[in-house]
Structure 1
Amino acid sequence: MENDYFRFEDTEHDIPFYNGNPKLSSSKLIVLFLGFCLTFCIPFIEFGDMVLLKAILSCFIPLIAVWYSLDGNLSEIFRKPEKNDIKIIIIGLISVFLVMGIATLIAKVFGIPSQSHKAYAGTPIITILSTIIQLVGEELFKFIGIVLPMIFTYKYIGRKGAIIVGIIVSQFIFALAHISAYGSNIADLILTIGIGSIVFPLIYVKTKNITISYLVHLIWDFIGILPVIFGLATLLF
């Protein structure tokens, strides 16, 4: 069994669904797929200043789909961090910095123009709350994006191959979901969003714990919105 695992993986836990553990009924598979599709569509809907509502929908739609598919047993994918996870979080942040840097450099070498994220709407506290909530949804979205291809490819290419396919599919669709925020330069999205953020699903595959990949993602994004955080601190103090 351990030969089916990558060497960097923790083998105490496994990714659910792909091998029938737990069993995924047709109705649960449909709900999981619909949750994935609906979450993908949310960024393309104009919410105006209601960014918090957008974040809540981005979080709760995939959360409900996964909750239903796991019969409410979210401890399969969300667990309390342990002391050893601190090292993983630190290594993860360093890895994100390096991979993002390499992806940006490749884009420059090939003359692929980079696109800036659209300005944050709302007050600093709304921006911070929206980020905290939405990133849960993003990690769940990528989780569903990994397990759905695994379910259909596992029997043909094995566990390792199915994970690779799942990550590629998930990251590609995740990159496309950012068109509304960054523009339609697909090459830049694939490099800076798809490949640039590949560390997050790899952290999940290692730990089988979305809590850890979420924390790394949250810390990284908070670094990106430091001006907003400093602005809130100025207002409060």
Structure 2
Amino acid sequence: MNSLYDRRPISTLTVIIGIFLILIAYVGLVYASLPFSFTFIALAGVIALYLNYGTYGIKSAFSPLQKGAIKFILIGYIWNAVQSSLVAVVITYGFDFPVAANGAANIFVDNTPAQFIYNAIDIIFSLIGEECFVLIPSILAIYFLKKHRVNEKRSMIIVTIIGAFFFGLAHYSTYNGNLVQIFFVIGLARLPLNWVAFKANSLWASSITHILFDFTPFIAALLFSVLR
């Protein structure tokens, strides 16, 4: 993935088109009831990479996990879990502000086997799409920041902060406009996820971390419903 930071996109127009496609895919996912809409952002991300870098861009961004990637994934998972819990506690008990539960937490409860498989595929593609939503524009932005003499590390920090803002905002409808949760719980989750992607040098790494983290409450709710 990091080989793309110094690789010039095909044109400014393809950059604009790529980002526009990702935004349109997000709107389609959130506001349109279309079959397999959960695949839209991931597909738009792949198309954006192809438009700007050809097949090389897809192979680089989704490069196979390298040695040490599992360690980064585990660290990112634990970091996200601890951070989210601490922030939720501080918001709830320190500022007496309610934190909404994920409305999809019970998505696997009382499923038939076919429903379980469909819902699992839905969530996995949606979460990979969320990684594309943030990281593909970030890859493009890092190139332009470095071109303007911002060093790579600082560029990563800048795109992570901006990405956290938009990532949180993208969950506006999911958490009923709860801005505190959107920015301080969901938005801050980008810190470990981006860190994993940059350290492991692959969108797969942050996608796996994201999937593991989001599946934890889903599986917990399923087990609770079975055991009660």
Shorter-chain TM-score: which interval?
0.7 to 0.9
Post-superposition Cα deviations, 1:76-120, rounded to whole Å, max 9, x if no partner, equal 111222342222222221111111122212322223321222244
Q: Is the contact made by 1:203 and 1:213 (CA closer than 8 Å) also made in structure 2?
A: yes
Question: What is the identity, as a one-letter code, of the residue corresponding to 1:16?
Answer: L
Asked if residue 204 in structure 1 is aligned to residue 197 in structure 2, the reply is: yes
Compute the displacement of 1:71 (Å).
Answer: 0.4
Compute the displacement of 1:201 (Å).
Answer: 0.9
Compute the displacement of 1:34 (Å).
Answer: 0.9
Aligned to 2:79: 95
Compute the displacement of 1:191 (Å).
Answer: 0.8
RMSD after superposition: 2.7
Asked if residue 111 in structure 1 is aligned to residue 96 in structure 2, the reply is: yes
Aligned to 2:170: 177
C-alpha separation in 1, matches of 2:196 and 2:122:
23
Alignment TM-score, normalising by the size of structure 2: 0.82
Asked if residue 150 in structure 1 is aligned to residue 142 in structure 2, the reply is: yes
More deviation in 24-33 or 151-160?
Answer: 151-160
C-alpha separation in 1, matches of 2:53 and 2:63:
14
Distance 1:138 1:91, change over 3 A: same
Q: Is the contact made by 2:29 and 2:38 (CA closer than 8 Å) also made in structure 1?
A: no
SS at match of 2:209: helix
Aligned 1:23-34 pairs, distance under 5 A: 23-34=9-20
Distance 1:88 1:159, change over 3 A: closer
Alignment TM-score, normalising by the size of structure 1: 0.79
C-alpha separation in 1, matches of 2:157 and 2:12:
24
**Alignment equivalent of 2:218, drawn from 212, 220, 225:** 225
Distance 1:229 1:197, change over 3 A: farther
More deviation in 74-83 or 143-152?
Answer: 143-152
**Alignment equivalent of 2:44, drawn from 61, 64, 78:** 61
Compute the displacement of 1:15 (Å).
Answer: 5.4
Q: Is the contact made by 2:165 and 2:183 (CA closer than 8 Å) also made in structure 1?
A: yes
The percent of aligned pairs where both chains have the same amino acid is 20
Q: Is the contact made by 1:128 and 1:229 (CA closer than 8 Å) also made in structure 2?
A: no
Any gaps of 5 or more consecutive residues in structure 2? Answer: none
More deviation in 131-140 or 141-150?
Answer: 141-150
C-alpha separation in 2, matches of 1:102 and 1:35:
36
Compute the displacement of 1:224 (Å).
Answer: 2.2
Task: Give the number of aligned pairs.
Answer: 216
Question: What is the identity, as a one-letter code, of the residue corresponding to 1:72?
Answer: T
Aligned to 1:162: 155
Distance 1:68 1:23, change over 3 A: closer
Q: Is the contact made by 1:43 and 1:180 (CA closer than 8 Å) also made in structure 2?
A: no
Q: Is the contact made by 2:163 and 2:190 (CA closer than 8 Å) also made in structure 1?
A: no
Distance 1:114 1:228, change over 3 A: closer
Q: Is the contact made by 1:89 and 1:215 (CA closer than 8 Å) also made in structure 2?
A: yes
Compute the displacement of 1:156 (Å).
Answer: 5.0
Compute the displacement of 1:28 (Å).
Answer: 1.9
Aligned to 1:138: 130
Q: Is the contact made by 2:9 and 2:52 (CA closer than 8 Å) also made in structure 1?
A: no
Q: Is the contact made by 2:8 and 2:143 (CA closer than 8 Å) also made in structure 1?
A: no
Any gaps of 5 or more consecutive residues in structure 1? Answer: 1-12
Asked if residue 14 in structure 1 is aligned to residue 2 in structure 2, the reply is: yes
